[in-house]
A = this chain, B = another copy of it.
Amino acid sequence: MLWAVDQTGVSPEGSWIDPPPHLESTMSLSETQHEAAGARRIARPVPLRESVYNAILDMIVSRNLQPGQHLVESELAVMLGVSRQPVREALQWLKNDGWVDLRPGLGAYVHTPTVEEADQLLAVRRLLETESARLAAQHVTEEGITHLRDLCRQGFAALEAEDVATMVALNAELHATVMRLSRNDVLVELASQVDRRVRWYYTPVARHRGAQSWSEHSALIDAIAAGNADRAAEVMHAHTEHTRVSYLEQQDKSGADAGTPARPVTARQP
């Protein structure tokens, strides 16, 4: 059945849909449990729309698709070697996650992030994360703490090795873990939405406040471990606020730096 390779057979070249790396931290708890129990249902051929979603998302994040760019269904379909149907569905999905703007009758355009939006996003993130920290402190478990400390240790290691990519990944994983400890699935869901978008323009910031960030993480874990909800919330609040401020300063300094949004200049919206 060859899922990954040589799907529709026509074009032998072109950027194929790579087998979804699937390091999604979104995975539902139940799935995790099942897999842990060894009850994995063989290899379900990941729905095409999902692969398409990931492929397009990658292209957006990696700036292969510029903000404001018009996404033509048929082009994407040919490019990915699938029909328009899965592409349409993926675009709807992307729209719901705020990655593209879908204008009825006109088509999809890569969302153009603005400074205001980033600020608002980071503010909301602060809100959600703060609450998650509070709740995590109330529901914390032994293994939860162990996992957090482990992540934190790896974080410091990555910091020392100046491995920014790993640091960002670990940072995301740590926040996701705290989030899960909150035991509020709705909150987890919302936060993951927000986080994905934040991470888009977060990377440049990571480099500049790595050290402080990880010691703050450490303090956060201490507060959670102690079951001190208010303190945990306070630390997380300060932590995410620092991130937000860092981002804004970064913006001020380098208005036209590579990889940062806030240039509605090149983005024409016909």
Contacts and interface: CB of A to CB of B under 8 A. Distances in A.
A186 B89 contact: no
A120 interface: yes
B186 A117 contact: yes
A250 B157 CA distance: 52
Contacts of A193: 190
Nearest to A28: B101
A88 to B, nearest CB: 7
A194 B128 CA distance: 14
Interface in A31-83: 44, 47
Contacts of A120: 184-187
Contact of A92 (B92, B98, B124): B92
B184 A105 contact: no
A164 interface: no
A131 interface: yes
A16 interface: no
A129 to B, nearest CB: 11
Given A96-B93, A127-B131, A117 B185 contact: yes
A104 interface: yes
Interface string A106-134: 00000000000100110110011001000
B194 A186 contact: yes
Main secondary structure of the interface of A (DSSP, over half): helix
Given A123-B184, A124-B190, A190-B124, A44 B104 contact: yes
Contacts of A93: 92, 96
Nearest to A102: B47
B104 A47 contact: yes
Contact of A121 (B92, B117, B186): B186
Given A92-B89, A96-B93, A186 B44 contact: no
Interface in A141-165: none
A187 B125 CA distance: 10
A229 B42 CA distance: 54
Contact of A124 (B47, B98, B117, B187): B187
B124 A127 contact: no
A213 to B, nearest CB: 22
B124 A186 contact: yes
Interface of A: 44, 47, 88-89, 92-93, 96, 98, 104-105, 117, 120-121, 123-124, 127-128, 131, 184-187, 189-190, 193-194
8 contacts: A47-B105, A89-B89, A92-B92, A92-B93, A92-B96, A117-B186, A120-B186, A123-B184
